[in-house]
Amino acid sequence: MKIVKKVTYIVLSILLVLLFSTIWNFDNSSAFDTISTFLSITIGFTITALSIIATSSFSKYLYSLEDEKNNSKTLLHILIGQFKISTIIFIITIGLILIYKFIPTHEHKLFCIKSYPISFSIIIKATIWYMTIISFITFLKLFETFSKFVLKSATKQ
């Protein structure tokens, strides 16, 4: 079942990038500066949140509890894993924005899908928009998880 979920996720991801590259391709790369600023702030948030978790006595309690789905990991491992994945997604998105900023401006068409020309910069731009959406969703989930951590930590003290 996990393999089916992963394959479905990959196929949907490729489909969305193709849609961003073709039908939804609008010239909006000017927003990338704002996106990279927001993602830089979210990286700062994740580092600060990890620091709070590391110094919390509640983290010792989470370390003593096994995860229900995977008994080889503790709840603290799961929480730290969520922060790690989120930070990696944010950094990849910023990296793609930097790559887009520094690629040559001339558009060399790689191929066409119907009447939509596809170039390397269009693929990068579409991937940036896809990763931005994933970053926002990931940040919201991370913020919700951290909020729960803070509330649980307060009740344990």
Residue 140 included in any domain: yes
Q: How many domains does the chain have?
A: 1
Q: For residue 60, is it within any domain?
A: yes
Structural domain of 146: 30-154
The predicted model scores a pTM of 0.82
Q: Is residue 9 part of a domain?
A: no
Residue 5 falls inside a structural domain: no
Q: Evaluate whether residue 143 is within a structural domain.
A: yes
The answer to whether residue 22 is domain-embedded is no
Residue 17 lies in a domain: no
Is 2 part of a structural domain of the chain?
no
Neighbour count for residue 72 (Cβ, 10 Å): 7
Nearest to 103 by CA among 120, 82, 83: 120
pLDDT in tens, the chain (157 residues): 678 887 888 888 888 887 776 777 666 778 899 999 999 999 999 999 899 888 888 888 888 888 788 888 888 888 899 999 999 999 999 999 999 888 776 667 666 767 777 778 888 888 888 899 899 999 999 999 888 888 887 787 6
149 phi and psi angles, rounded to 5 deg: -60, -45
C-alpha separations of 15 from 12, 23, 47, 85, 127 in Å = 5, 11, 32, 22, 11
The dihedral region occupied by 107, where left means phi > 0, alpha psi between -120 and 50, and beta the remainder, is beta
